[in-house]
Amino acid sequence: MALTTPGEIAANAAKRKARPTPRVELSELRRKNDVAGTVFKGLLLGGIFVTFLILIVLLVQVVRDGSNVLTGRLGDFLSSGLGSSPEISGIAQALRGTFYVTLITALVAFPLGIASALYLEEYAPKSRLTNFINLNIRNLAGVPSVVYGILGLTIFVNGWGIRSITGGRTPIAAGLTLAALVLPIVIITATEALRGVPRALREAGYGVGATKSEVIKDHVLPYAAPGILTGTLLSIARAAGEAAPLILIGATTGFLSDIPGWGDVTQAREPFTALPIIIASWARQPQEGFKVDNAAAAIVVLVVFVLLVNAAAIFMRNRFERKRAGL
Protein backbone atom coordinates (compact mmCIF):
# COMPACT_ATOMS: atom_id res chain seq x y z
CA MET A 1 0.00 0.00 0.00
CA ALA A 2 1.40 3.34 -1.07
CA LEU A 3 2.08 5.81 1.68
CA THR A 4 0.87 9.39 1.43
CA THR A 5 3.61 11.91 1.89
CA PRO A 6 3.13 15.02 4.04
CA GLY A 7 3.22 17.16 0.91
CA GLU A 8 0.33 15.24 -0.65
CA ILE A 9 -1.70 15.56 2.59
CA ALA A 10 -1.20 19.33 2.59
CA ALA A 11 -2.12 19.56 -1.10
CA ASN A 12 -5.35 17.57 -0.56
CA ALA A 13 -6.28 19.74 2.41
CA ALA A 14 -5.73 22.86 0.34
CA LYS A 15 -7.96 21.49 -2.44
CA ARG A 16 -10.77 20.67 0.04
CA LYS A 17 -10.49 24.10 1.54
CA ALA A 18 -10.65 25.78 -1.84
CA ARG A 19 -13.62 23.67 -2.95
CA PRO A 20 -16.84 25.71 -2.43
CA THR A 21 -19.21 24.29 0.18
CA PRO A 22 -22.66 23.64 -1.30
CA ARG A 23 -25.27 26.00 0.15
CA VAL A 24 -29.00 25.51 0.22
CA GLU A 25 -30.71 28.86 -0.18
CA LEU A 26 -33.96 29.59 1.63
CA SER A 27 -35.56 30.53 -1.66
CA GLU A 28 -34.82 27.04 -3.00
CA LEU A 29 -36.52 25.47 0.01
CA ARG A 30 -39.55 27.67 -0.49
CA ARG A 31 -39.83 26.60 -4.11
CA LYS A 32 -40.36 23.01 -3.05
CA ASN A 33 -43.95 21.94 -3.36
CA ASP A 34 -45.13 21.52 0.26
CA VAL A 35 -48.69 20.42 -0.36
CA ALA A 36 -49.47 19.47 3.25
CA GLY A 37 -48.16 22.79 4.57
CA THR A 38 -50.16 24.78 2.03
CA VAL A 39 -53.36 22.91 2.86
CA PHE A 40 -52.83 23.36 6.58
CA LYS A 41 -52.18 27.08 6.14
CA GLY A 42 -55.33 27.39 4.06
CA LEU A 43 -57.39 25.64 6.75
CA LEU A 44 -56.05 28.00 9.40
CA LEU A 45 -56.85 31.06 7.32
CA GLY A 46 -60.30 29.66 6.56
CA GLY A 47 -60.98 29.09 10.25
CA ILE A 48 -59.95 32.65 11.09
CA PHE A 49 -62.11 34.05 8.30
CA VAL A 50 -65.19 32.05 9.30
CA THR A 51 -64.80 33.00 12.97
CA PHE A 52 -64.34 36.66 12.14
CA LEU A 53 -67.31 36.60 9.75
CA ILE A 54 -69.61 35.04 12.37
CA LEU A 55 -68.52 37.64 14.92
CA ILE A 56 -69.17 40.51 12.52
CA VAL A 57 -72.61 39.16 11.59
CA LEU A 58 -73.60 38.79 15.25
CA LEU A 59 -72.38 42.25 16.17
CA VAL A 60 -74.15 43.87 13.23
CA GLN A 61 -77.38 42.06 14.08
CA VAL A 62 -77.24 43.03 17.75
CA VAL A 63 -76.41 46.67 17.03
CA ARG A 64 -79.20 46.87 14.49
CA ASP A 65 -81.74 45.38 16.91
CA GLY A 66 -80.72 47.74 19.69
CA SER A 67 -80.27 50.84 17.55
CA ASN A 68 -83.61 52.36 18.62
CA VAL A 69 -82.59 52.28 22.29
CA LEU A 70 -78.94 53.19 21.70
CA THR A 71 -79.76 56.22 19.56
CA GLY A 72 -83.06 57.27 21.12
CA ARG A 73 -82.60 57.04 24.89
CA LEU A 74 -79.08 55.83 25.67
CA GLY A 75 -78.60 58.11 28.67
CA ASP A 76 -81.96 57.20 30.17
CA PHE A 77 -81.32 53.51 29.44
CA LEU A 78 -78.04 53.61 31.38
CA SER A 79 -79.41 55.58 34.34
CA SER A 80 -82.89 54.05 34.78
CA GLY A 81 -83.81 50.99 36.82
CA LEU A 82 -85.90 47.97 35.94
CA GLY A 83 -89.51 48.62 35.03
CA SER A 84 -92.65 46.92 33.82
CA SER A 85 -92.55 48.67 30.44
CA PRO A 86 -89.71 48.38 27.92
CA GLU A 87 -89.96 52.11 27.19
CA ILE A 88 -88.88 53.06 30.72
CA SER A 89 -86.68 50.12 31.73
CA GLY A 90 -82.95 50.61 32.12
CA ILE A 91 -79.83 48.78 33.27
CA ALA A 92 -78.50 51.04 36.03
CA GLN A 93 -78.98 48.40 38.72
CA ALA A 94 -77.45 45.73 36.49
CA LEU A 95 -74.43 47.93 35.78
CA ARG A 96 -73.83 48.49 39.48
CA GLY A 97 -74.31 44.81 40.25
CA THR A 98 -71.85 43.79 37.52
CA PHE A 99 -69.35 46.35 38.80
CA TYR A 100 -69.47 45.10 42.39
CA VAL A 101 -69.36 41.43 41.38
CA THR A 102 -66.34 41.88 39.09
CA LEU A 103 -64.59 44.05 41.69
CA ILE A 104 -64.98 41.38 44.39
CA THR A 105 -63.89 38.71 41.91
CA ALA A 106 -60.71 40.64 41.09
CA LEU A 107 -59.90 41.39 44.75
CA VAL A 108 -60.15 37.69 45.62
CA ALA A 109 -58.87 35.90 42.50
CA PHE A 110 -55.86 38.07 41.68
CA PRO A 111 -53.89 37.82 44.95
CA LEU A 112 -54.74 34.16 45.53
CA GLY A 113 -54.00 33.16 41.94
CA ILE A 114 -50.69 35.00 41.65
CA ALA A 115 -49.55 33.83 45.10
CA SER A 116 -50.42 30.22 44.23
CA ALA A 117 -48.55 30.45 40.93
CA LEU A 118 -45.50 31.91 42.67
CA TYR A 119 -45.44 29.13 45.24
CA LEU A 120 -45.93 26.33 42.71
CA GLU A 121 -43.31 27.68 40.33
CA GLU A 122 -40.68 29.17 42.64
CA TYR A 123 -40.94 27.43 46.01
CA ALA A 124 -42.74 24.08 45.71
CA PRO A 125 -40.43 21.08 45.16
CA LYS A 126 -40.78 19.26 41.87
CA SER A 127 -42.53 16.12 43.02
CA ARG A 128 -45.49 13.93 42.19
CA LEU A 129 -47.65 15.94 44.55
CA THR A 130 -46.82 19.18 42.73
CA ASN A 131 -47.53 17.56 39.36
CA PHE A 132 -50.82 16.23 40.72
CA ILE A 133 -51.82 19.71 41.93
CA ASN A 134 -50.93 21.31 38.58
CA LEU A 135 -52.91 18.63 36.73
CA ASN A 136 -56.00 19.24 38.86
CA ILE A 137 -55.73 23.01 38.43
CA ARG A 138 -55.83 22.54 34.66
CA ASN A 139 -58.79 20.20 35.00
CA LEU A 140 -60.65 22.74 37.13
CA ALA A 141 -60.19 25.34 34.39
CA GLY A 142 -62.37 23.19 32.12
CA VAL A 143 -65.21 22.56 34.59
CA PRO A 144 -68.56 24.03 33.36
CA SER A 145 -69.53 27.28 35.04
CA VAL A 146 -72.85 25.84 36.24
CA VAL A 147 -70.89 23.50 38.53
CA TYR A 148 -69.25 26.50 40.16
CA GLY A 149 -72.72 27.98 40.56
CA ILE A 150 -73.80 24.92 42.53
CA LEU A 151 -70.62 25.20 44.60
CA GLY A 152 -71.34 28.86 45.34
CA LEU A 153 -74.96 28.14 46.25
CA THR A 154 -73.90 25.38 48.64
CA ILE A 155 -71.00 27.17 50.32
CA PHE A 156 -71.37 30.94 49.97
CA VAL A 157 -75.17 31.23 50.06
CA ASN A 158 -76.34 28.35 52.24
CA GLY A 159 -73.10 27.45 53.99
CA TRP A 160 -73.25 27.48 57.76
CA GLY A 161 -71.14 30.31 59.17
CA ILE A 162 -70.30 31.77 55.75
CA ARG A 163 -73.81 33.07 55.11
CA SER A 164 -73.34 35.55 57.94
CA ILE A 165 -70.37 37.00 56.05
CA THR A 166 -71.76 37.00 52.53
CA GLY A 167 -75.33 37.91 53.45
CA GLY A 168 -76.82 35.16 51.30
CA ARG A 169 -77.78 36.02 47.73
CA THR A 170 -75.58 39.09 47.43
CA PRO A 171 -72.77 40.41 45.23
CA ILE A 172 -70.28 39.11 47.80
CA ALA A 173 -71.47 35.52 47.30
CA ALA A 174 -71.54 36.03 43.52
CA GLY A 175 -68.04 37.54 43.51
CA LEU A 176 -66.61 34.68 45.57
CA THR A 177 -68.25 32.15 43.25
CA LEU A 178 -66.84 33.79 40.13
CA ALA A 179 -63.46 34.09 41.86
CA ALA A 180 -63.47 30.31 42.29
CA LEU A 181 -64.44 30.03 38.60
CA VAL A 182 -61.54 32.12 37.26
CA LEU A 183 -58.94 31.19 39.91
CA PRO A 184 -57.59 28.18 37.92
CA ILE A 185 -57.24 30.38 34.83
CA VAL A 186 -55.35 33.03 36.80
CA ILE A 187 -53.02 30.40 38.26
CA ILE A 188 -52.33 28.81 34.86
CA THR A 189 -51.62 32.11 33.07
CA ALA A 190 -49.44 33.38 35.92
CA THR A 191 -47.51 30.10 36.03
CA GLU A 192 -46.84 30.18 32.29
CA ALA A 193 -45.68 33.80 32.56
CA LEU A 194 -43.28 32.88 35.36
CA ARG A 195 -41.93 29.94 33.37
CA GLY A 196 -41.13 32.35 30.54
CA VAL A 197 -38.65 34.27 32.71
CA PRO A 198 -35.10 33.41 31.54
CA ARG A 199 -33.07 31.32 33.96
CA ALA A 200 -30.11 33.64 33.45
CA LEU A 201 -32.10 36.50 34.99
CA ARG A 202 -32.51 34.59 38.24
CA GLU A 203 -28.87 33.48 38.24
CA ALA A 204 -27.72 37.07 37.73
CA GLY A 205 -29.66 38.13 40.81
CA TYR A 206 -28.23 35.33 42.89
CA GLY A 207 -24.77 36.15 41.56
CA VAL A 208 -24.80 39.65 43.10
CA GLY A 209 -25.93 38.29 46.47
CA ALA A 210 -29.71 38.83 46.30
CA THR A 211 -32.00 36.57 48.28
CA LYS A 212 -34.73 34.49 46.68
CA SER A 213 -37.46 36.93 47.70
CA GLU A 214 -35.47 39.87 46.31
CA VAL A 215 -34.90 38.07 43.01
CA ILE A 216 -38.61 37.34 42.71
CA LYS A 217 -39.66 40.86 43.67
CA ASP A 218 -37.11 42.83 41.65
CA HIS A 219 -36.51 40.58 38.64
CA VAL A 220 -38.96 37.73 38.14
CA LEU A 221 -42.25 39.57 38.77
CA PRO A 222 -41.41 42.67 36.67
CA TYR A 223 -40.38 40.43 33.77
CA ALA A 224 -43.49 38.24 34.03
CA ALA A 225 -45.90 41.13 34.75
CA PRO A 226 -47.16 41.55 31.13
CA GLY A 227 -48.25 37.93 30.87
CA ILE A 228 -49.70 37.85 34.38
CA LEU A 229 -51.77 41.00 33.91
CA THR A 230 -53.02 39.97 30.50
CA GLY A 231 -54.24 36.60 31.75
CA THR A 232 -55.84 37.95 34.91
CA LEU A 233 -57.70 40.79 33.21
CA LEU A 234 -58.97 38.51 30.46
CA SER A 235 -60.28 36.14 33.13
CA ILE A 236 -62.23 39.06 34.62
CA ALA A 237 -63.73 39.74 31.20
CA ARG A 238 -64.92 36.13 31.14
CA ALA A 239 -66.39 36.40 34.64
CA ALA A 240 -68.34 39.52 33.68
CA GLY A 241 -70.23 37.61 30.99
CA GLU A 242 -71.12 34.51 33.02
CA ALA A 243 -74.84 34.03 33.68
CA ALA A 244 -75.24 30.42 34.90
CA PRO A 245 -73.46 30.87 38.27
CA LEU A 246 -75.40 34.07 38.97
CA ILE A 247 -78.71 32.38 38.22
CA LEU A 248 -77.92 29.65 40.74
CA ILE A 249 -76.66 32.16 43.28
CA GLY A 250 -80.02 33.92 43.02
CA ALA A 251 -79.46 37.18 41.17
CA THR A 252 -82.72 39.12 40.93
CA THR A 253 -84.59 39.05 37.62
CA GLY A 254 -87.54 41.15 38.79
CA PHE A 255 -87.76 44.58 40.37
CA LEU A 256 -85.32 46.13 42.82
CA SER A 257 -86.46 48.77 45.27
CA ASP A 258 -84.01 51.56 44.48
CA ILE A 259 -80.91 52.60 42.55
CA PRO A 260 -78.06 53.15 45.03
CA GLY A 261 -75.07 55.28 44.17
CA TRP A 262 -71.81 53.88 42.89
CA GLY A 263 -70.10 54.60 46.20
CA ASP A 264 -72.74 52.86 48.32
CA VAL A 265 -70.78 49.83 49.53
CA THR A 266 -73.81 48.52 51.43
CA GLN A 267 -75.09 47.28 48.07
CA ALA A 268 -72.53 44.46 48.34
CA ARG A 269 -74.80 42.84 50.97
CA GLU A 270 -78.13 43.55 49.29
CA PRO A 271 -80.14 41.73 46.60
CA PHE A 272 -78.58 42.39 43.21
CA THR A 273 -78.80 41.78 39.51
CA ALA A 274 -76.24 41.83 36.70
CA LEU A 275 -76.10 42.43 32.97
CA PRO A 276 -76.05 38.74 31.91
CA ILE A 277 -79.09 38.08 34.13
CA ILE A 278 -81.03 41.03 32.73
CA ILE A 279 -80.22 40.00 29.16
CA ALA A 280 -81.39 36.43 29.77
CA SER A 281 -84.55 37.67 31.52
CA TRP A 282 -85.47 40.18 28.82
CA ALA A 283 -84.84 37.66 26.04
CA ARG A 284 -87.63 35.48 27.50
CA GLN A 285 -90.19 38.29 27.66
CA PRO A 286 -93.08 38.25 25.15
CA GLN A 287 -92.89 41.99 24.39
CA GLU A 288 -90.77 42.89 21.39
CA GLY A 289 -89.42 45.94 23.21
CA PHE A 290 -87.88 43.73 25.89
CA LYS A 291 -86.65 40.71 23.96
CA VAL A 292 -85.38 42.61 20.92
CA ASP A 293 -84.64 46.28 21.58
CA ASN A 294 -83.68 46.32 25.26
CA ALA A 295 -81.95 42.93 25.26
CA ALA A 296 -79.85 43.85 22.21
CA ALA A 297 -78.92 47.23 23.71
CA ALA A 298 -77.86 45.54 26.96
CA ILE A 299 -75.75 43.08 24.95
CA VAL A 300 -73.98 45.98 23.25
CA VAL A 301 -73.24 47.57 26.64
CA LEU A 302 -71.86 44.27 27.95
CA VAL A 303 -69.70 43.83 24.84
CA VAL A 304 -68.35 47.35 25.27
CA PHE A 305 -67.52 46.58 28.90
CA VAL A 306 -65.65 43.42 27.91
CA LEU A 307 -63.80 45.28 25.16
CA LEU A 308 -62.74 47.97 27.64
CA VAL A 309 -61.35 45.31 29.97
CA ASN A 310 -59.48 43.71 27.05
CA ALA A 311 -58.16 47.11 25.99
CA ALA A 312 -56.94 47.73 29.55
CA ALA A 313 -55.18 44.35 29.46
CA ILE A 314 -53.43 45.21 26.18
CA PHE A 315 -52.45 48.69 27.42
CA MET A 316 -50.98 47.40 30.68
CA ARG A 317 -49.20 44.56 28.91
CA ASN A 318 -47.55 46.97 26.46
CA ARG A 319 -46.62 49.33 29.29
CA PHE A 320 -44.92 46.60 31.30
CA GLU A 321 -43.20 45.25 28.19
CA ARG A 322 -41.69 48.69 27.59
CA LYS A 323 -40.51 48.80 31.19
CA ARG A 324 -39.09 45.30 30.84
CA ALA A 325 -37.23 46.30 27.68
CA GLY A 326 -35.56 49.07 29.65
CA LEU A 327 -34.18 46.70 32.29
The highest-confidence range among 6-10, 79-83, 92-96, 180-184, by mean pLDDT, is 180-184
Tally of residues, the chain = 327
- Long-range pairs for 293-296 at CB < 8 Å and ≥24 separation? 293/65, 293/66, 293/68, 293/69, 293/86, 294/66, 294/69, 294/77, 294/86, 294/89, 295/65, 295/66, 296/62, 296/63, 296/64, 296/65, 296/66, 296/69
* DSSP category for residue 120: I
Query: At residue 32, does pLDDT exceed 90?
Result: no
At 47 the pLDDT is 93
Better pLDDT: 324 or 37: 37
Query: At residue 33, does pLDDT exceed 70?
Result: no
Query: At residue 80, does pLDDT exceed 90?
Result: no
Query: At residue 21, does pLDDT exceed 70?
Result: no
Better pLDDT: 166 or 258: 166
How far apart CA 289 and CA 256 sit, in angstroms, is 20
pTM of model > 0.75: yes
Better pLDDT: 261 or 305: 305
How far apart CA 148 and CA 105 sit, in angstroms, is 13
At 200 the pLDDT is 85
How far apart CA 280 and CA 283 sit, in angstroms, is 5
Contact 186, 180 (CB under 8 A): no
How far apart CA 10 and CA 49 sit, in angstroms, is 63
At 7 the pLDDT is 54
Query: In the predicted model, what is the mean pLDDT of the chain?
Result: 81
Can you say how many angstroms the Cα of residue 178 is from the centroid of all Cα atoms in its chain?
Answer: 13
pLDDT one-digit tens code per residue, 238-254: 888 888 888 888 777 66
Domains annotated for the chain, with CATH where assigned, are 63-325 (1.10.3720.10)
Phi, psi of 170 (to 5 degrees): -130, 170
| Residue 3 buriedness (CB in 10 A; 0-12 / 13-18 / 19+) | exposed
Query: At residue 258, does pLDDT exceed 80?
Result: no
Q: Which of 302, 280, 120, 305 is nearest to 194 (CA)?
A: 120
How far apart CA 181 and CA 144 sit, in angstroms, is 9
What CA–CA distances, in Å, run from 245 to 3, 150, 168, 175, 321? 88, 7, 14, 10, 35
The highest-confidence range among 74-83, 148-157, 318-327, by mean pLDDT, is 148-157
